[in-house]
A and B are shown apart, each in its own frame.
Chain A
């Protein structure tokens, strides 16, 4: 895994010193609040509903053991003993004090971490497949490229004051677990006919109030052209993106209003002009980065004990069936640790839980952890013979919920419990849905189903790409929850379709229950997932389940 070199170390220390100075200059009046705001934002510090919130970057969702332990220390020393893992593979601390923030940033720098560009109108933390370098279906490890992009985007002088925030995601697998089509730039690692590595480049995706799927701007970009090409896209966007209306400022609107062809022409002109400024030094840096992502020393030992334990323990079996994914190495599994215990806040982990996960990664997981955009923690490399022990430790720490990919594995934004922008609560709705299905004991029968909840139109909970999406709005002072169906964030990406009128808070859980039970009635067989059924029969039967009109119910 990546460790800071001297350059990274010097950079991040100087950046902390600058921010310490900026905090002091805000206090002495050198900086106005308006001027300080973007400076604190580009260092990850938000002002929320009740307090400051510090968002710490976890580049491409990859964490070492010492880094996870440091997050636990920060949660205990400077926050309230917990942290919140986010849909962009970051972690948020909800209660830091302004005066402590420079010290927190120094503590992060000690383990090669920072909070740079986790906010603000700049290139944000680059996200990647959370199963990178472990998944059986992978073509190439996206993390070295993601690290190269991290270095390139960090403190980029041209792109710190873009029209709006800018998000890049990368996947090295044909099965898209990084939601690349919903990003400002999505990168899919591919090979051309000659077998050379490169990228399919997508541009202009995004959720928010105007959801759009990204379009292909280059179907094959050679690897060495990546940074100049991305820079050309950013340059074109910096100049053409709208600055008159915050809600029309994302690149998806720029591409939509100018048309892909005109935007592409602009990008290609810039690329042709600026390409010669790149000598190839970036490819040398990439080689150094790649050398740091060597695979761990995998063990080759029998898995009989795992099979025997699995056969004899139904609770373990249920967990193993949902929370393990196929690893590319025989005898290994990818473990997803659910941060979605029924009734708890999705994505939250206590300092104790963080330490337990770090200990398990150290002892059984080749020292590596990941954060998924679905707000769970991954141990990417665990030998199956160790799974019974891992599971036992997880159970003791309340971390063995067997619900990955199921109804209660819900993405929810912080909503009105924390966020100043929210128009409705998200977390309590997620908690109630999870509890309802826990009581009904049908989750495993229902199978794969992604519910995603946003507490306002900005769509941080990704509701547009939820199989069931829930959007909390404010209707004359009353929370109202709109339902969308059929969304999909994978390689078969789709924006969910809006159903009819929304539901008040006390009715939305029942509405979701009717949708799910209705699906069980009409699915072709147990193999047909909720999304497949929706795609086969269309929205009408589901509207019937939601609103109870006989005509549509009959159509099923």
Chain B
């Protein structure tokens, strides 16, 4: 089972809705989730962002940083629902994920075993020492 990481630590997935691949965007209903990958263009979601309750942004590899820009873009399009980074995200990247607009990170059990809760909680202080927030204000 996958683990959802937030500022308060590990939890199980409580999202009740259906999560659709981007190809099924035409079928999106109020309260659904949508999943995008690094190569997808989040601009195609602009028309349905008001209905979508969750967007899962996949990170197939931790060193592919496109998902960070996707998060920032989705927020700039006005998305206010749950935004989740999913896959190979490191505890060391937790602060980055939160700062670009993700609410939470979803990891698998193997990664959670290797990087236990304490290592993620160590970066729950992501609002501290944040140059860009100071400059944008």
Interface residue? B65 (CB, 8 A) = yes
Query: What separation, in Å, do the CA atoms of A10 and B130 have in the docked complex?
Result: 10
Query: What separation, in Å, do the CA atoms of A159 and B96 have in the docked complex?
Result: 9
Query: What separation, in Å, do the CA atoms of A261 and B135 have in the docked complex?
Result: 29
Q: Chain A interface: which of B22-30, B48-56, B66-74? A: B66-74
CB-defined interface of B41-65 with A at 8 Å, one 1/0 digit per residue?
A: 0000000000000000000001111
Q: Which residue of A lies closest to B75 (CB)?
A: A277
Which B residues are in CB contact (< 8 Å) with A38? 62-63
Which residues 80-137 of B have a CB within 8 angstroms of A?
A: 90, 92-93, 95-97, 99-100, 114-116, 119, 122, 128-132, 134-137
Which A residues are in CB contact (< 8 Å) with B64? 161, 243
Which B residues are in CB contact (< 8 Å) with A313? none
Contact of A239 among B66, B90, B129 (CB under 8 A): B66
Which residues 115-158 of A have a CB within 8 angstroms of B?
A: 121, 148, 151-152, 154-158
Interface residue? B76 (CB, 8 A) = yes
Contact A158 B68 (CB under 8 A): yes
CB-defined interface of A14-52 with B at 8 Å, one 1/0 digit per residue?
A: 110010011001000111000100110000000000000
CB-defined interface of A218-252 with B at 8 Å, one 1/0 digit per residue?
A: 00000000010000000100110001000000000
Q: What's the nearest-Cβ distance from chain A to residue B92, in Å?
A: 6
Contact A157 B136 (CB under 8 A): no
Contact B68 A282 (CB under 8 A): no
Q: What's the nearest-Cβ distance from chain B to residue A155, in Å?
A: 6
Contact A157 B96 (CB under 8 A): yes
Interface residue? A285 (CB, 8 A) = yes
Q: How large is the interface on B (under 10, 10 to 19, 20 to 34, 35 or more residues)?
A: 20 to 34
Query: What separation, in Å, do the CA atoms of A41 and B128 have in the docked complex?
Result: 23
Query: What separation, in Å, do the CA atoms of A281 and B135 have in the docked complex?
Result: 5
Q: Which residue of A lies closest to B137 (CB)?
A: A281
**Which B residues are within 8 Å of any A CB, using their own CB?**
62-66, 68-70, 72-73, 76, 90, 92-93, 95-97, 99-100, 114-116, 119, 122, 128-132, 134-137
Which A residues are in CB contact (< 8 Å) with B99? 157
Which A residues are in CB contact (< 8 Å) with B128? 10, 14
Using known A-B contacts A30-B115, A152-B132, A282-B136, determine if residue A160 contacts B96 with beta carbons closer than 8 Å: yes
Contact B131 A152 (CB under 8 A): yes
Which B residues are in CB contact (< 8 Å) with A399? none
CB-defined interface of A156-198 with B at 8 Å, one 1/0 digit per residue?
A: 1111111000000000000000000000000000000000000
Which A residues are in CB contact (< 8 Å) with B73? 235
Which B residues are in CB contact (< 8 Å) with A285? 134-135
Query: What separation, in Å, do the CA atoms of A15 and B128 have in the docked complex?
Result: 11
Q: What's the nearest-Cβ distance from chain A to residue B86, in Å?
A: 16
19 CB contacts below 8 A, A to B, read A10-B129, A18-B92, A21-B122, A35-B62, A151-B131, A154-B131, A156-B132, A157-B96, A159-B68, A161-B62, A161-B68, A162-B65, A227-B135, A235-B69, A239-B70, A243-B66, A277-B76, A278-B136, A285-B134
Using known A-B contacts A158-B68, A277-B76, determine if residue A11 contacts B131 with beta carbons closer than 8 Å: yes
Contact A157 B135 (CB under 8 A): no
Query: What separation, in Å, do the CA atoms of A238 and B42 have in the docked complex?
Result: 14
Interface residue? A279 (CB, 8 A) = yes
Interface size on A, residues (CB 8 A): 41
Query: What separation, in Å, do the CA atoms of A277 and B136 have in the docked complex?
Result: 7
Which A residues are in CB contact (< 8 Å) with B68? 157-161, 238
Contact B76 A273 (CB under 8 A): yes
Query: What separation, in Å, do the CA atoms of A29 and B116 have in the docked complex?
Result: 12
Q: What's the nearest-Cβ distance from chain A to residue B89, in Å?
A: 11
Query: What separation, in Å, do the CA atoms of A239 and B116 have in the docked complex?
Result: 31
Using known A-B contacts A160-B96, A161-B63, A239-B66, determine if residue A29 contacts B114 with beta carbons closer than 8 Å: yes
Most chain B beta-carbon contacts within 10 A, residue among A121, A227, A239, A278: A239
Query: What separation, in Å, do the CA atoms of A330 and B70 have in the docked complex?
Result: 54
Q: Which residue of B lies closest to A15 (CB)?
A: B129
Query: What separation, in Å, do the CA atoms of A273 and B131 have in the docked complex?
Result: 21
Query: What separation, in Å, do the CA atoms of A227 and B136 have in the docked complex?
Result: 9
Contact B119 A30 (CB under 8 A): yes
Which A residues are in CB contact (< 8 Å) with B122? 21
Q: What's the nearest-Cβ distance from chain B to residue A162, in Å?
A: 6
Q: What's the nearest-Cβ distance from chain A to residue B103, in Å?
A: 14
Contact A282 B114 (CB under 8 A): no
Q: What's the nearest-Cβ distance from chain B to residue A391, in Å?
A: 42
Which B residues are in CB contact (< 8 Å) with A151? 131, 134-135
Which B residues are in CB contact (< 8 Å) with A152? 131-132, 135
Which A residues are in CB contact (< 8 Å) with B132? 152, 156-157
Contact B65 A161 (CB under 8 A): yes
Contact B131 A158 (CB under 8 A): no
Contact A158 B69 (CB under 8 A): yes
Interface residue? A392 (CB, 8 A) = no
Interface residue? A301 (CB, 8 A) = no
Contact of A155 among B66, B116, B131 (CB under 8 A): B131
Query: What separation, in Å, do the CA atoms of A38 and B122 have in the docked complex?
Result: 19
